[in-house]
């Protein structure tokens, strides 16, 4: 995501210096029971919070990050830190998700490598990293771990859950798994299940990691890492996040630092150099095994399973008001999938708004500056507050704000 940070307005208001926190739960014998049937514990969740929690603990917005994101959604860890959080454009004082009004929480997902329990974490039974001894987790397991964090923080109601891509899958899961907790939901650039094409791209990426001789069946900690395999996996993924038009505008067929072809296998084209750079930067911050686990969790996700094969039946469990947003150039999770979700929501009698935003940058458009998206989110949150107040005043089970 670092390539987007140059788009930020350095003078924009920020939450300032923030701190990553940790919560550990589910110590044996009270382990987390996973959807696979496995029992796992202890579980550590890394998280960050922004803004002030209202006395009634009812101004909470939970942000759920995408596949390779983390809990650092806004602010900086040090005053001189050059890199802010991954959604600095959206989260902060006066921004779309206004930290002067809302208490914002973002946690690193279970199976990740940015502070939450994952395959690179130390197994207390052995004193070594779990590697492939870490259990396979699902989107549902990630949400269950997030629920444990909220219980620890004493939060029983969420004004909104918001997330894009795999974060959007978590939004959908929250709404049907813990419907009584969610007042509003904003799934961005997401899908209720992966297509065969999306699964295929993930499998090619996984195979690139597992084919790297340094992968060593996941036992590479303390030794040479499968950096080449992980870099290629990132390159594959990055292609799916962009659009043909975005790549044409950004690169075309322009050569990289040369006036003619090299007639060897160097990076002749700018797009080749860009992808190699993205792969190299990625291996500096991400764990190869986590990439395997998280892509598998995304592939397993199918919201219709919560409705015994019916998407409408799954959404019938939800109680939230929805704002569904798609982007015109997103070919990984195209608008047709969002429309299918909206149809199922309406069939289930849910209050749902839908917007397709014109954007040329592909799947990752939700991470880029977009005044329209900011205003949509701001307006939706404002509406949620008003309606929750009205419900509370009428004694209909709403929560006073």
User: Which long-range contacts (C-beta less than 8 Å, at least 24 apart) are formed by 282-287?
Assistant: 282/68, 282/230, 282/231, 282/234, 283/225, 283/227, 283/230, 283/231, 283/234, 286/68, 286/113, 286/230, 286/234, 287/113, 287/118, 287/119, 287/120
Active site residue 363: yes
Active site residue 72: no
For the chain, the domain total comes to 1
Other Cβ atoms less than 10 A from the Cβ of 45: the count is 25
CB 348 within 8 A of CB 312: yes
How far apart are alpha carbons 323 and 352 in whole angstroms? 6
Report the sign of the C-alpha dihedral through residues 240, 243, 248, 251, in that order: negative
In this structure, are strands 122-123 and 39-40 parallel, antiparallel, or unpaired? Answer: unpaired
CATH code for the domain in which residue 20 is found: 3.40.50.1820
Does residue 269 sit within a domain? Answer: no
Known active-site residue 165 = yes
Task: Identify the active-site residue in 329, 330, 338, 348.
Answer: 330
Residue 107 domain flag: yes
pLDDT tens, the chain, 401 aa long: 334 333 444 446 899 999 999 999 999 999 999 999 999 999 999 999 999 999 999 999 999 999 999 999 999 999 999 899 999 999 999 999 999 999 999 999 999 999 999 999 999 999 999 999 999 999 999 999 999 999 999 999 999 999 999 999 999 999 999 999 999 999 999 999 999 999 999 999 999 999 999 999 999 999 999 999 999 999 999 999 999 999 999 999 999 988 899 999 999 999 999 999 999 999 999 999 999 999 999 999 999 999 999 999 999 999 999 999 999 999 999 999 999 999 999 999 999 999 999 999 999 999 999 999 999 999 999 999 999 888 878 876 544 33
213: in domain: no
Give domain status of residue 258, yes or no: no
DSSP-based three-state secondary structure for 7: helix
Residues in the chain: 401
**Helix 139-153 vs helix 288-300: crossing angle, to nearest 10:** 100
Tell the residue number behind the tokens 């458009």, with chain if given: 365
Contacting residues for 35 by C-beta, under 8 A, at least 6 apart? 137, 138, 140, 141
φ, ψ for residue 71, nearest 5 deg = -75, -10
Domain with 110, as residue range(s), is 2-194+307-394
Interval 189-232: pLDDT, tens = 999 999 999 999 999 999 999 999 999 999 999 999 999 999 99
Output the CA torsion 232→333→116→122 (10° steps). Answer: -40
Question: Which residues are paired to 182 by β-bridges?
Answer: 158
Report whether the peptide linkage leading into residue 29 is cis, meaning its omega lies within 30 degrees of zero. yes
The answer to the question of residue 288 being in a domain is: no
Residue 10 lies in a domain: yes
Give residue-wise pLDDT tens across range 141-153: 999 999 999 999 9
User: Which residue in the block uniquely carries the two structure tokens 């291996």?
Assistant: 283
Number of C-beta neighbours around residue 126 at 10 A: 10
Instruction: List Cα–Cα distances, 272 to 248, 269, 360, 366, in angstroms.
Output: 13, 5, 20, 24
Whether residue 289 contacts residue 131, with contact meaning beta carbons closer than 8 Å, is answered with yes
Domain membership flag for residue 261: no
User: How far is the C-alpha of 132 from the C-alpha of 91, rounded, in Å?
Assistant: 35
Helix (H, G, I), strand (E, B) or coil at 313: helix
Question: From the candidates 58, 290, 363, 370, which is the catalytic residue?
Answer: 363
Would you say residue 278 lies in a domain? Answer: no
- CA dist 340 and 323 (Å) reads 14
């Amino acid at each position: 995501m670092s390539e987007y940070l140059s788009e930020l307005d350095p003078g924009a208001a920020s939450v300032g210096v923030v701190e990553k926190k940790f919560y550990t739960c589910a110590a044996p014998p009270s382990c987390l029971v996973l959807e696979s049937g496995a029992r796992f514990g202890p579980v550590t969740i890394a998280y960050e919070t922004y803004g002030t929690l209202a006395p009634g603990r009812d101004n909470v917005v939970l942000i759920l990050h995408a596949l390779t994101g983390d809990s650092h959604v806004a602010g900086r860890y040090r005053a001189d830190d050059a890199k802010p959080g991954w959604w600095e454009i959206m989260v902060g004082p006066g921004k779309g998700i206004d930290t002067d009004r809302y208490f914002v929480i973002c946690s690193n997902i279970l199976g990740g490598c940015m502070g939450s329990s994952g395959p690179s974490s130390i197994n207390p039974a052995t004193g070594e990293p779990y590697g492939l001894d870490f259990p396979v987790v699902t989107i549902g397991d990630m949400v269950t771990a997030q629920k444990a964090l909220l219980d620890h923080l004493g939060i029983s109601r969420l004004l909104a859950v918001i997330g894009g891509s795999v974060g959007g899958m978590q939004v959908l899961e929250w709404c049907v798994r813990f419907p009584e907790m969610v007042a509003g939901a904003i799934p961005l650039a997401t899908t209720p299940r992966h297509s065969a094409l999306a699964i295929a791209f993930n499998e090619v990426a996984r195979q690139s990691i597992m084919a790297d001789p340094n992968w060593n069946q996941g036992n590479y900690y303390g030794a040479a890492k499968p950096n080449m395999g992980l870099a290629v996996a990132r390159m594959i993924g990055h292609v799916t996040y962009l659009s043909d038009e975005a790549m044409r505008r950004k690169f075309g067929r322009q050569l990289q630092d040369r006036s003619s072809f090299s007639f060897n296998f160097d990076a002749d084209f700018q797009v080749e150099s860009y992808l190699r750079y993205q792969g190299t930067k990625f291996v500096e911050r991400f764990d190869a095994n986590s990439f395997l686990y998280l892509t598998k969790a995304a592939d397993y996700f199918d919201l219709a399973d919560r409705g015994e094969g019916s998407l409408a039946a799954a959404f019938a469990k939800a109680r939230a008001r929805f704002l569904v947003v798609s982007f015109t150039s997103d070919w990984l999770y195209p608008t047709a999938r969002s429309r299918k979700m909206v149809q199922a929501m309406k069939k289930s009698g849910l209050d749902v708004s839908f917007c397709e935003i014109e954007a040329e940058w592909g799947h990752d458009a939700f991470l880029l500056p977009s005044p329209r998206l900011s205003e949509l989110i701001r307006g939706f949150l404002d509406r949620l507050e008003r309606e929750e107040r009205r419900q509370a005043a009428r004694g209909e089970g709403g929560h006073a704000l």
